[in-house]
Amino acid sequence: MMHVLNSLLPTMIIICYFMPGPHTCVALQKKNSCHVHDGIADCSHLSLTAVPSDLPSNIISLDLSHNRLKGIPPVSLAPYPGLRRLIVSHNSITKLDPGLCQTLPLLQTLNMEHNQVYVLKKEDVNHCTNLTWLIMASNKLKLQGEPFSALQRLKVLDVSLNKLRSAKLGTQTQLPNLVSLNLALNDFTTLKKDDFLFLEHSSSLLVLNMSFMSLKTLEPGCFTPISGLRTLIMDGSNMGTLGFSELCSELSGTAIEAVYFRKMKLATLTNTTFKALQKTNLTYLDISHNDMVTIGDGSFLWLSRLQTLILSDNIIKQLNKNTFQGLKSLKKLQMTKALVKHHYIPTIEDFSFQPLSALESLILQKTAAQKITEHTFTGLTSLKELDMSWSNYTSLRIINNKTLVSLAGSPLRKLNLTGTAISQIDPQSFSVLKNLTMLLLNNNFIKQILTGKEFEGLDQIEEIYMSNNQQTVNLISTSFVNVPNLRVLTLGKTLKAEAVNLDPSPFSPLTNLTFLDLSNNNIANIREDMLKGLAYLKVLKLQHNNLARLWKSANLGGPVLFLKHSLSLVTLQMDSNGLDEIPAEALRGLGNLRNLNLSSNLLNSLKDSIFGDLNSLRVINLQKNLITAVRPEVFKTPLSNISLLVMDKNPFDCTCETIMWFVTWLNETNMTHVPGLRDQYLCNTPLAYFNRSIMEFDPLSCKDMTPFQTLYILTSTAVIMLMVSAFVVRYQGWRIRFYWNILINRTLGFSDTHAAEGQEFEYDAYIIHAEQDSSWVERRLSPLENDMCRFCLEDRDSLPGMSQPDSILDNMRRSRKILFVVTETLLKDPWCTRFIAQHAIHRDIEANRDSVILVFLQDVHDYKLSRSLYLRRGMLRPCCILDWPVHKERVPAFHQKLLMALGMTNRLKD
Ligand SMILES: *[C@@H]1O[C@H](CO)[C@@H](O)[C@H](O)[C@H]1NC(C)=O
Ligand SMILES: *[C@@H]1O[C@H](CO)[C@@H](O)[C@H](O)[C@H]1NC(C)=O
Ligand SMILES: *[C@@H]1O[C@H](CO)[C@@H](O)[C@H](O)[C@H]1NC(C)=O
Ligand SMILES: *[C@@H]1O[C@H](CO)[C@@H](O)[C@H](O)[C@H]1NC(C)=O
Ligand SMILES: *[C@@H]1O[C@H](CO)[C@@H](O)[C@H](O)[C@H]1NC(C)=O
Ligand SMILES: *[C@@H]1O[C@H](CO)[C@@H](O)[C@H](O)[C@H]1NC(C)=O
Ligand SMILES: *[C@@H]1O[C@H](CO)[C@@H](O)[C@H](O)[C@H]1NC(C)=O
Ligand SMILES: *[C@@H]1O[C@H](CO)[C@@H](O)[C@H](O)[C@H]1NC(C)=O
């Protein structure tokens, strides 16, 4: 009921702008053919010179706007008889063809805006009986006869900007269903008594637009035929004071409810300006943009039913207690930029708003006035909302217990003091605002420690917005003790860096808090208990702080798991915090979290299942990190139900282990929106994929890899084994053969027989020793010789005439055992080691016998032994290894052992 325009205009706008199809999109994506979807064909902006003939025949809407059509021959539309909407605006059409509506019998909307239609005759639209919208704005219309008389169903007629010389669109009564008529921007300056007679029976006409015309004369009774009119738009009419008072007189007694008198140069209002409107039920008056300086006392005295008054964008000098007299029904007073610094600073005198006892909303945005006193807002007994945002009132610089005291009688619920240059809030500044639920203090310069007393008396307060206060506010533990009902608290870009590092936490009294914004504060220290007790916290904004250290595993005392108290969180923002680690337990238990933002951090390798509890996640943002791998161990749970994924601008590593699962998931998911997937998700490594989209990575290549991988492993193992064997055979082959032989002998029992043994050999042992040790041999071994036991000593027993090597070999062959007298010197003797030892061992191996005896005069390392003699202790039986005892009394035992070693059978198996 308020004003029909409100309901009609938007519809008009929506239809006008959306009916022709997505104009705005067209500019973005250059198209070269019609876009058809759901029976709606968009052929706009195609430089067409004729109607396309190849569209689906069942389309109901066709947009041909912004082309080069010179006409629309009905024949060209014959293929589309079902059309209900036709938009041919912004072409060069000169004529509306009479056959058009015959071809399109169902046509309801015809938009021919911005063409060159000149003559319009009744015959041209005679058959358009189903038409409800006809837009002929911006043509060169010259009406002949009664062109609109056939349009029985027409609701909206727009003939604005047509150089029409009269408002009289016909002589007979017609257009019985017309709701809105737009005559704006035409050339007539006089409104005659009978101009609207053709609308006499248009009982539904509600909106008349006659903006931007130089109407000078209004004949008495000119509105009488349309006295049911509810909304009149006269913006930009240059009619002078006299013309204006005539206009009001003509409106007197009509059903008018809303008038738009913008840009009409109404510089001064007096107590007679609106007098004639007394006999109306006007509820809505917009007199913004009028360069209005003076509002005389009692100017609105006549508008007792007015509910909304728009005074925005004027230069009003002064308000006093008589200015708003009579506005006893006023609910909303909109004064954005109505009081501004000009040559003067406007004044709001005491009790200026007192007459407005019904006022609920007072908007003083972007205004300036000398001061606010203890009586400025007195009498606003219904006021619920006061908006003084971005205003310049010196009284607000320091708010104290007097500043807002004039609002004591108002049931104020919302106070908007955004951007009012507040620098200080004294104790009990808001204590009179017992009903206040929302306090906005954003964008000020508040510089103080909040002790808690500032908010004393705000018994009903639920939301305090205090963001953008220059990071000059400090907190103490009691800062919010007086506002325990708080649900929303924003302190973004407001706090000093250490403000929240308190015990107990300043937020601990706020048990009902659901929204906390601490972003942009450079906070580096948070205590684990900061959010303790905030069981209902749903939104936590911590972006643009410095919290990286708190989550480092190297942090002294371990990572600070400050989220463990806020398990109801739905939204968590921690972007731009320099985070390079997320502790395994940091996001534990956040089963309600739907929205997680960790973008613009330095996250690289994420621990398995750090997101494991985030079953409800719908939106995750990890953009601009250093993530290389997207592994199922980390991402399977959080991505399982996601609807929006933002992870672009990471240096992805495109290998099977790191990206295959992700690419497969991206290919399979159809529920998730991933913006920029094709061109913003790029591989950084390996080189082969550098700067290519991860979507170019072929997961199938990983599957094909599996047999190759097996093959690869098999071949490489084989090659390595072959190499190892070759090396072993080359350097340790003798030993293998040696053990092999032992094994064979043991199993198959090859051996020398007892009887044969003794006879076969001349000597019991061939003694190998260093030159230096001959004396030891002489003193210690030679005495052992007797009938039963003979040693072969090379010096003594070599066969004369034989070369030394041959002699050695021959003697060895004739000895049953070979006895090494091991000393360091022996091992260093190249002749001995290279030749004698090698042959001794060679023989030993050849003969498959266990014939070597080592007698150690010194302790010799096994390693040296093996290097020189190619023998290790472990290769011999323990009884064949003898140590020359240090203690004399053990010499007999040594002899005994030696004899046992010599006397033993060479058979390996006893
Ligand atoms: C108007 O539209 C109706 C269907 O909505 C159709 O039946 C009728 O024939 C049309 N009228 C004319 C004159 O074409
Ligand atoms: C209107 O103002 C004039 C003086 O400016 C005054 O004489 C007259 O009484 C006022 N009329 C009303 C109705 O207040
Ligand atoms: C104003 O509204 C009242 C009832 O609300 C009605 O009786 C009266 O006729 C209306 N006045 C005009 C001028 O329409
Ligand atoms: C408070 O004022 C600011 C600035 O004019 C505006 O953007 C905001 O919407 C207002 N807030 C409320 C809740 O009215
Ligand atoms: C606010 O008003 C004071 C004087 O009233 C003036 O000095 C100052 O420049 C104004 N500030 C703004 C932002 O308009
Ligand atoms: C306002 O504050 C001043 C000092 O800050 C104090 O003396 C005075 O009593 C307070 N007035 C009210 C009404 O609280
Ligand atoms: C304002 O608060 C008072 C008490 O604090 C209460 O009696 C009154 O009903 C409230 N008014 C509104 C409009 O809520
Ligand atoms: C929290 O809210 C509930 C209901 O919304 C209310 O009953 C309770 O008193 C509030 N608690 C505090 C401390 O304000």
108 and 63 in a common domain = yes
H or E stretch including 804? helix 804-813
In the chain, the number of structural domains is: 3
At 233, which amino acid appears? Answer: I
Give the pair of three-digit tokens for residue 499. 């403000």
Nearest CA to ligand 8 atom 13: 484
278 Cβ inside 6 Å of ligand 3: no
485 lines ligand 8 (CB under 6 A): yes
309, β-bridge pairs: 285, 333
Question: At 156, phi and psi to the nearest 5?
Answer: -125, 125
**Within-domain flag for 780:** yes
411 lines ligand 7 (CB under 6 A): yes
Q: Where does a domain end: 119, 136, 154?
A: 154
Q: Is 281 in the pocket of ligand 3 (CB under 6 A)?
A: yes
Pocket test for ligand 4, best of 416, 422, 439, 441 (most atoms within 8 A of CB): 416
Q: What is the pLDDT, as a whole number, of residue 746?
A: 56
Asked if 820 and 806 count as a contact pair (C-beta separation under 8 A), the reply is no
Residue nearest to atom 11 of ligand 4 (CA): 416
Among residues 154, 188, 215, the one where a domain terminates is 154
**Which pLDDT value is given to residue 699?**
81
State the Cα–Cα distance between residues 212 and 182, nearest whole angstrom. 11
User: Relative to the alpha carbon of 277, which ligand is closest?
Assistant: 3
Read off the pLDDT of residues 57-115 as tens digits, 9 standing for 90 and up: 999 999 999 999 999 999 999 999 999 999 999 999 999 988 899 999 999 999 999 99
pLDDT of residue 743: 64
Q: What local confidence, expressed as pLDDT, does residue 847 receive?
A: 64
Average pLDDT, 10 consecutive residues per value, the chain (910 residues): 40 38 40 87 93 92 95 92 94 91 93 94 89 95 90 94 92 93 93 92 92 90 92 91 89 94 93 92 96 94 96 95 95 96 91 96 95 94 97 94 95 97 96 96 96 94 96 94 96 94 94 96 94 95 95 91 94 96 93 96 92 94 95 92 94 91 90 91 90 88 67 80 79 61 55 49 82 81 77 78 77 81 81 71 65 82 77 75 79 78 54
What is the spatial distance between Cα 384 and Cα 411, in angstroms, rounded to a whole number? 6
Give nearest CA residue, ligand 6 atom 8: 401
Closest CA to 326 of 257, 271, 286: 271
717 Cβ contact partners less than 8 Å away, ≥ 6 residues apart: none
Ligand 1, residues at Cβ distance < 6 Å: 105-106, 129-130
Q: Which residue puts its alpha carbon closest to atom 3 of ligand 6?
A: 401
Which residues contact ligand 5 via a Cβ below 6 A? 345, 368, 392, 394
CA-to-CA distance for 599 and 593, rounded, in angstroms?
16
Rg (the chain; Cα; Å): 52
- The answer to whether residue 105 is domain-embedded is yes
d(CA 359, ligand 5 centre) in Å: 28
484 lines ligand 8 (CB under 6 A): yes
Residues 650 and 681: their CA atoms lie apart, in Å, by 7
Ligand nearest to the CA of 433: 7
**Domain edge (last residue) among 154, 177, 199:** 154
The torsion of the CA quartet 774, 779, 785, 786, rounded to 10 degrees, works out to: 150
| Secondary structure class of 673 (helix, strand, coil) | strand
* Judgement on whether residues 101 and 142 belong to the same structural domain of the protein: yes
Q: Say yes or no: CB of residue 145 within 6 Å of ligand 3.
A: no
Give me ligand 1 centre to Cα 767, in Å: 131
CA of 389 to the centre of ligand 6 (A): 26
Residue nearest atom 12 in ligand 6 by C-alpha distance: 401
Distances (CA, A) of 604 to 265, 599, 640, 658, 690: 64, 12, 21, 12, 18
DSSP annotation of 81 reads T
Which atom of ligand 3 is nearest to 254's Cα? 13
Residue 613 within any structural domain of the chain: no
Inside any domain, residue 441: no
Amino acid present at 668? E
CB distance 587 to 616 below 8 Å:
no
Preceding omega of 22 cis (within 30 degrees of 0): no
Ligand 8 and 512: CB distance under 6 A: yes
CB-based burial label for 216 (10 Å; 0-12, 13-18, 19+): middle
Shared domain for 823 and 794, answered yes or no, is yes
Verify whether ligand 7 is closer than 6 Å to residue 73 (CB atom): no
Specify the ligand 6 atom closest to the Cα of 428. 14
Residue with CA nearest ligand 7 atom 11: 411
Task: Give the whole-angstrom CA distance, residue 265 versus residue 13.
Answer: 27
Residues 713 and 796 in one domain: no
* Separation between Cα atoms, residue 264 and residue 299, nearest integer Å: 17
The residue whose CA has the least distance to atom 14 of ligand 1 is 105
Residue 593 and residue 402: Cα distance in Å, rounded?
Answer: 44
pLDDT reported for residue 27: 38
Give the number of whichever ligand sits closest to the CA of residue 487: 8
766 and 844 in a common domain: yes
- Beta strands at 392-393 and 438-440: parallel, antiparallel or unpaired: unpaired
Ligand 7 centre distance from Cα of residue 358 (Å): 16
742/865 same-domain check = no
Q: Check residue 748 and give its pLDDT.
A: 57
Secondary structure class of 111 (helix, strand, coil): strand
Q: Of 645, 654, 661, which Cα lies nearest the Cα of 682?
A: 654
Half-sphere exposure of 470 (CA within 13 A, CB side): 11
Q: Is 536 within the bounds of a domain?
A: no
Q: Which residues of 455-479 are buried (b: 16+ CB within 10 A; e: fewer)?
A: bbbbeebbbbbbbbbebebbbeebb
Question: 3-state class of 741 per DSSP?
Answer: helix
Please say whether the beta carbons of 143 and 117 come within 8 A: no
Asked whether residue 131 is assigned to any structural domain, the reply reads: yes
Q: Find out whether 849 and 875 touch, Cβ atoms under 8 Å.
A: no
Q: Is residue 725 included in any domain, yes or no?
A: yes
Specify the residue with its C-alpha closest to ligand 3, atom 6: 281
- CATH number of the domain enclosing 75: 3.80.10.10
Q: Is 448 in the pocket of ligand 8 (CB under 6 A)?
A: no
Same structural domain for residues 724 and 803?
A: no
Cα of 196 vs centre of ligand 3, distance in Å, is 23
DSSP string covering 124-151: HHTT-TT--EEE--SS--EEES-TTTT-
Pair 779, 862 in one domain? yes
- How many angstroms separate the alpha carbon of residue 389 from the centre of ligand 4? 7
Q: Is 898 found in the same domain as 780? A: yes
Pair (825, 733) in one structural domain: no
- Helices vs strands, H then E, count in the chain: 19, 47
Position 69 in a domain: yes
Give the DSSP H or E segment for 744: helix 699-748
Q: Answer for the pair 399, 422: CB distance below 8 angstroms, yes or no.
A: yes
Q: How many Å lie between the centroid of ligand 4 and the Cα of residue 373?
A: 23
Measured in angstroms, how far is the CA atom of residue 440 from the centroid of ligand 6? 23
CA-proximal residue: ligand 7, atom 12 (nearest): 411
Name the closest ligand to CA 510: 8
Contact 95, 72 (CB under 8 A): no
| Closest ligand by atom to 512 CA | 8
Closest ligand 3 atom to the C-alpha of 253? 13
Q: Are residues 885 and 769 in the same domain?
A: yes
State the distance from the centre of ligand 1 to the C-alpha of 155, rounded, in angstroms.
16
Which residue range is the domain that position 76 belongs to? 34-154
Residues 719 and 848 in one domain: no
Q: Ligand 1 pocket test: which of 106, 128, 132 has the largest number of ligand atoms within 8 Å of its C-beta?
A: 106
